[in-house]
Amino acid sequence: MLCNICNQSEASIHLTEIVENKIVELHLCEQCAQEKGMDVKTTFNFSDLLAGLAELTPQVAAGKQPALVCRTCGLRYDEFGKIGRLGCADCYKTFASALLPLIKRVQQATQHAGKRPERAPRPAAPAAAASPLERLQERLKQAVESEAFEEAARLRDEIHLLEERERRSSRKSTRAKGEAEA
């Protein structure tokens, strides 16, 4: 969408205003917005968001900031509230009681429950206890799930060959037993 003022540059700022019960939309490029005196901040700083949210935690709002200090890097919790960044990995453990409500507010949960890319390799099952046939069947299942149909067809054929060999082998052993008993 082009800027409503210059009609040349791509609009990156979109304003919606209600004037006399009518919705008025204004689409501006950064340059026109700056010329009109708008203070345009084009970058989003996640640290600033966290710092702002840290100040909104119940303890901070009540004036009861936790007197927590990370033993590893020396960062105090109130400093985290100002800068929005933790100093080291141990800060997560040190400030856990204050961070968990903050993380829950931002993420709606405290544990990652995201999806895994479809083409990402699946974790390998322990192969030591599995027979060659079971391993092939597992690989076939994974190939079908990842929609690698040519590989799945090849694995299916391998499974059929292996099953046929096992059938022949069991027939031979049954015949040998019968002959030994006779």
* Alpha-carbon gap, residue 25 to 132, rounded angstroms: 66
Contact 77, 70 (CB under 8 A): no
Domains of the chain, by residue range, sit at 1-42, 46-107, 132-181
Q: Which two three-digit tokens encode residue 39? A: 């203070």
Q: What is the pLDDT tens value at each position of the chain, 182 positions in all?
A: 898 989 999 988 888 877 777 888 888 888 888 887 776 655 555 555 555 555 545 554 444 544 688 999 998 888 877 777 888 988 888 888 887 877 777 776 777 666 777 777 776 655 555 788 888 999 999 988 888 889 999 999 999 999 998 888 887 777 766 666 66
Contact 69, 75 (CB under 8 A): yes
